[in-house]
A = this chain, B = another copy of it.
Amino acid sequence: MASMTATRDRVRAELTRDIKDEARRQLATAGADGLSMRAVARQLGMVSSALYRYFPSRDDLLTALIVDAYNALGAAAEAADTGGPDVVARWRAVCRSVRSWARAHPHEYALLYGSPVPGYHAPSDTISPAARVPLVLLGVLGESWAAGTLTSVFEAPYPSPPLAAQAQRLSTSLGLDLPAPVLTRALIAWTQLFGMISFELFGQLVGSVDPAEEFFEHAVEQMGRYVGLPA
């Protein structure tokens, strides 16, 4: 019966989730390379070979964790953008939400934005979840641009012709219609945002800019100004 299939499916979905939860817990102590099928199984009270009914290999489990993490981060950023005309407040809120999520899930953040795991190649399934945060940022800018509140992005230095072309291609491939200087500045702000968060989480700021709270807030204001949001 369909209802019984549904029961089995539900149990399966639950255990799949349990496996991923336990794997996430292990990321925290051992890092991505330390993630072990056997240890996950052990902790769940099952035999290691049983995991292979759920994930055909360790790499598949890793991929699932990566996709989940991109989606969780993306969802956090989307939720933080409440919409409305106050684009500066939205910009701030989105940036903060990214940092908050990263600080709350440092090992998953490291999985996404840290050193690539040697021998692991991310499949294309990760591309669109990875795009969610940049799309939220670009959404805010796009609305500001459409509303005519985006200022002072046409100051020199201008992107070189090849860079402008690259930006134009990217803009249309994302289904947006932003001029190259806007998109270029957005890209710079994007790398700045994650650069700061990575420095904070990976320990580069310890002893110099520590705590990083005030620094982050200030940089977010500066970047908002830089991308052309109203002062």
Copies in the complex: 2
The answer to whether A157 and B218 touch (CB under 8 A), given A31-B33, A110-B116, A202-B113, is: yes
Counting CB contacts under 8 A, is A188 at the interface?
A: yes
Counting CB contacts under 8 A, is A89 at the interface?
A: no
Residues of chain A from 87 to 132 with CB closer than 8 A to chain B in the complex: 110-111, 113-119, 122, 127, 130
- B-contact bits for A192-231, CB 8 A (1 contact / 0 none): 1111101100111001110000110111011001100001
Q: Are A215 and B163 in contact (CB under 8 A)?
A: yes
Nearest Cβ on chain B to A186's Cβ, whole angstroms: 11
Binding site for B on A (CB under 8 A): 29-34, 110-111, 113-119, 122, 127, 130, 156-157, 159-160, 162-163, 166, 170, 184-185, 187-188, 191-196, 198-199, 202-204, 207-209, 214-215, 217-219, 221-222, 225-226, 231
